[in-house]
Amino acid sequence: MKTRHFAQLLALSALWGASFLFIRIASPALGPWVLAAVRMGLAALTLLLLMTALRHRWPWAHWRELLGLALLSVAAPFVLHAWAALHLSAGYSALLNSTAVVFGTLAAAWMGQDRLTGRKLLGCVLGFVGVGLIVRLGPIAPTREVLVAALACIGAAACYGLATPWMKRATERLEPLAIAAAIHLIALAALLPGAAWAWPQARLSAGALGAVAVLGVVTSGLAYWMFLRVMRHVSPVAAASTAFMIPVFGVAWGALFLGEPVGSGMWAGGALILLATALVTGFNPLRALLAAARP
């Protein structure tokens, strides 16, 4: 992986780690459906303006593929994470999201883009053990709502992981900006009925609207375009490795700005999930940093 691509993935990890903080702020006020739809709408508008300014062509000839990617890579995960934020801290959600690498590795092997080895299978097992430690031993009591929210986070991570190798194939044939704009528009259309139904319960506070504005324009619209541009040049598993670094930022932002507790279960479970991610991706942070430092 080139230094430039590693630096871009690191920047994306910091942005997406912060997204869990903003989801945690906005979801209780707006509700999961409204939050996801407004976030999607702002992202679509941002990317639509870029498409117009750069005069890119829309890839509607591939609408079936784009529909599947829209539902799997943005619509479903956005709603699931927004709902989970009603019961889980930002740090919890960020750590659980790192299981996306496990699902991405399994999906890449199934699609013939990677080989499943004993080391990677061990990583998958350790990843789910880590999830169990976080849910059971973390600073939040493992109530029924917490367990269901944790499953929602894992479901969102599974969507991300399964979509990654599929998205990699799409970037080899279509422009990253066109893909990003199209899937956000399609996902917005899919989320509008749920958002319309939930709209009367939404509370439009300044903090929630500010948080969703950052989510839509920056962490969804611009960041997703950047991610697809990087994905063109790296493997699906390397692209999914952003989930390896997101928890570091997610836990840090949550503890720093929201005062979220960090218990022993989060440390132990988080360490296992990170170890699992290293096993399934072959990603060595020290080696990557040394490689990035070379000219």
Residue scoring higher pLDDT (99 or 185) = 185
The pLDDT assigned to 135 comes to 56
Contact 241, 283 (CB under 8 A): yes
The pLDDT assigned to 292 comes to 47
What's the angle, vertex CA 165, arms to CA 77 and CA 99, rounded to 5?
Answer: 50
The pLDDT assigned to 114 comes to 64
Phi, psi (degrees; rounded to nearest 5) at 213: -65, -45
Q: In angstroms, how far is the first alpha carbon of the chain from the final one?
A: 13
pLDDT at 290 over 80: no
Mean pLDDT of 222-228: 91
Contact 129, 272 (CB under 8 A): yes
> 58 by DSSP, 3-state: which?
coil
The pLDDT assigned to 253 comes to 65
Please indicate, yes or no, whether the overall pTM of this predicted structure exceeds 0.75.
yes
Distance CA 230, CA 8 (A): 7
> 116 by DSSP, 3-state: which?
coil
Per-residue confidence at 99, pLDDT binned at 50, 70, 90? confident
pLDDT at 138 over 60: no
pLDDT at 76 over 90: yes
Most confident of 36-40, 132-136, 164-168, 221-225: 36-40
Helix/strand number for the chain, H first, E second = 15, 0
The answer to which of 63-67, 69-73, 111-115, 219-223 has the lowest mean pLDDT is 111-115
| pLDDT tens digits for range 57-69 | 999 999 999 999 9
Residue scoring higher pLDDT (140 or 162) = 162
214-217, Cβ contacts within 8 angstroms, sequence gap of 24 or more? 214/18, 214/22, 215/19, 215/22, 215/23, 215/26, 215/35, 215/39, 215/42, 216/38, 216/39, 216/40, 216/41, 216/42, 216/43, 216/45, 216/46, 217/42, 217/43, 217/46
Mean pLDDT of 1-7: 63
DSSP H helices in the chain: 3-30, 32-54, 63-70, 76-84, 90-97, 100-110, 118-137, 144-171, 176-198, 206-214, 223-231, 236-240, 242-258, 264-281, 285-293
Mean pLDDT of 97-119: 72
Percentages (nearest 5) of helix, strand, coil residues in the chain: 85, 0, 15
The pLDDT assigned to 235 comes to 66
Mean pLDDT of 90-109: 76
The pLDDT assigned to 289 comes to 46
Residue bearing tokens 């430690």: 133
pLDDT at 160 over 50: yes
| pLDDT tens digits for range 240-252 | 666 666 766 666 6
Mean pLDDT of 79-99: 85
Name the burial class of residue 96, with classes exposed (0-12), middle (13-18) and buried (19+) by CB atoms within 10 angstroms of its CB.
buried
The pLDDT assigned to 177 comes to 95
Q: Which two tokens stand for residue 249?
A: 């930022």
Angstrom distances, CA of residue 184 to CA of 80, 199, 224:
16, 20, 10
- What is the DSSP annotation of 14-36? HHHHHHHHHHHHHHHHH-HHHHH
Give the residue from 122, 116, 90 showing the smallest Cα distance to 19.
Answer: 90
The pLDDT assigned to 293 comes to 46
The pLDDT assigned to 294 comes to 52
pLDDT at 46 over 90: yes
Domain ranges of the chain: 3-293
On average, the pLDDT of the chain sits at: 81
